[in-house]
Amino acid sequence: METITKFNAETTVNAEVQHKVEQLLAEYAATIDEEQYRDWPQYFTEKCLYKIISRDNYHKKMPFGFMYCDNRNMLRDRIASMKNANVYEPHTYRHMLSRSVVTDGGDGSLIARTSYMVVRIMHDGTQEIFSTGSYIDRIVSEDGKLRFKEKIVVTDSTRVDVLLVIPL
């Protein structure tokens, strides 16, 4: 997974697949940015991996990060807790995504690596770069739709400003 950014990788997929993957990522980001949080779990397969971990810990192969979910119900619980239980100041995200480097995962899946930048917009208007990093995604086709079987959010920084409640 770490070598997918090879120069002119021959396993690069065709333009149509590339387009579909980037479409998926664009929709994923828009869903979060437009606060459609209850729709967020549908981007994942029933059994899945969603993990947020710092780049430092990712490279050291540390098993624990900021968030860990291995099925869609855990993703739903994250949103349920965010909406019903947790206390935080109202804020939204704005994602900026790079083009994706998409390669064939070999088992019918696709692997995509995409840089992201998330600006956090607080209720009082404060806008700050909240997180930058890389999505390392394993994507599969299910019922004619592309979904994330794995989404590892590798944050460039080891530090979070205040708190992290809305998924990246």
Partner 1 sequence: MSETLTPNVNVQWPSSNTSRVPYTVFTDPELFKQEQKEIFLGPNWNFVAMELEIPNKGDYKSTFVGDTPVVVVRDEEGQVHCFVNRCAHRGSVLVFDQTGNKEDFTCVYHNWRYDLSGKLKSVAFQHGVRKVGGMPKDFSLDDHHLTRARVEVYYGLVFATFSDETPPLKEYLGERMANHIARVLNRPIRILGTYSQTLHSNWKLYMENSKDSYHASLLHTFFTTFKLNRLSMEGGVMVDGGGGHHLSWSKRGTDSATGTEYEKPGELRSLNDEFTLADPTLINAWQEFDDGITHAIQTVFPNFVLQQIQNSLAVRLLIPLSAEKSELYWIMFGYEDDTPEQHDMRLRQSNLIGPAGLVSLEDGMIGNFIQRSIKHEENHSAVLEMGGREIEDQQSRVSEAAVRGFWQAYRARMGQ
**Residues at the interface with partner 1 (CB under 8 A):** 52-54, 56-57, 62-69, 71, 73-74, 76-78, 80-81, 84-89, 158-165
- Helix, coil or strand: residue 84: helix
User: Measured from the CB of residue 79, what is the shortest distance to partner 1 in angstroms?
Assistant: 10
User: Measured from the CB of residue 93, what is the shortest distance to partner 1 in angstroms?
Assistant: 14
Q: Which residues of 24-35 are buried (b: 16+ CB within 10 A; e: fewer)?
A: bbeebbebbbee
Measure the CA–CA gap between 147 and 67, rounded to whole angstroms: 19
User: Measured from the CB of residue 8, what is the shortest distance to partner 1 in angstroms?
Assistant: 33
Task: Give Cβ neighbours of residue 156 (< 8 Å, ≥ 6 apart).
Answer: 54, 55, 131, 132, 133, 134
- Residue 52 or 118 with smaller CB distance to partner 1: 52
User: Measured from the CB of residue 73, what is the shortest distance to partner 1 in angstroms?
Assistant: 4
Measure the CA–CA gap between 60 and 54, rounded to whole angstroms: 10
- Residue 65 or 119 with smaller CB distance to partner 1: 65
Letter for the amino acid at 151? Answer: K
Measure the CA–CA gap between 136 and 122, rounded to whole angstroms: 27
- Residue 9 or 122 with smaller CB distance to partner 1: 122
User: Measured from the CB of residue 165, what is the shortest distance to partner 1 in angstroms?
Assistant: 6
Q: What are the beta bridge partners of residue 53?
A: 154
